[in-house]
Amino acid sequence: MPSRDSDISARPSGAMALPRVPTARWYPGVAAAQLIRPQPIGDALYWLELEGSLTRALQLRCRERFHVEVLREGYARPTLEEARTLHIPSRQLAWIREVQLCGDGQPWVMARTVIPLATLRGRGRRLRHLGGRPLGAFLFSQRRWQRGPFQIGLTRQPAPGQPAVGRRSRFHRGSDALLVGEYFLPRLLQGNNSHCSR
C-alpha cells in the first residue's frame, strides 16, 4: 500500500476544497450521446471532435498564458468502470491525476488521467512526475503512444459552471495503457467564437 503522502485522498486539514472532476455516463460516439442530451453536445462539438493534442489547441487559443493547475494526484482506486476500460482488477490501485487546463487565468478544461501500476514501470515512471507539465504534450511527443477512439461523456447532474460534457480515450504503448478524460467547462464553450492569437 502506498504511503499516506502519496495517497490521492490525503489532504491537509483546513485546506480549501478543490474542484472535483465530475462522474459521467459514457457513450461510443457523438451521435449516441447527442440522442440523449443534444444541447451540450452541440455547444462542445468542435472540442469533442478535435484530433491531435488538446493542449496545443488550447495554447493556440490563449491571448496571454496557458498553464496546468494540479488539483490532486496520487495512488487511488479507479472507478469500476475505469478499471474495466483499462482491463485491470477492480480493486487494484492506479496513479490518478486530476488537473485543470487554464487559459488566460481561467479554467477551461478539467482532466482526469488513470495510469495502471504496470504502465508506471520503467520509462513510465516519468508519468508520476509531470508536475505542472501537460500530459498531452508528453504523450504526443512520444511516437509509440497511440490513442484509441473517443467516448463521449455526459456528466451526472452538472452544477452551474461545471462541465456538462466530456470525452475520453485510451492511450496504449505495447501492453501499457492509460485513460485520459477531458471535461469542457462553460467558460471555454462560451468563447467558442472568440479568436486567440498564438
| Other C-beta atoms lying within 10 Å of the C-beta of residue 162 | 16
Q: Is 135 annotated as a binding residue?
A: yes
Strand partners, 167: 152, 182
Q: Is 97 annotated as a binding residue?
A: yes
Instruction: Name every residue whose Cβ is closer than 8 Å to that of residue 105 and which is 6 or more positions away in sequence.
Output: 64, 65
- Cell 501492453, residue? 175
Please, are residues 101 and 77 in contact by the beta-carbon 8 Å criterion? no
Q: Is 198 annotated as a binding residue?
A: no
Instruction: Name every residue whose Cβ is closer than 8 Å to that of residue 193 and which is 6 or more positions away in sequence.
Output: none
- Binding-site residues for substrate, please? 97, 135, 182
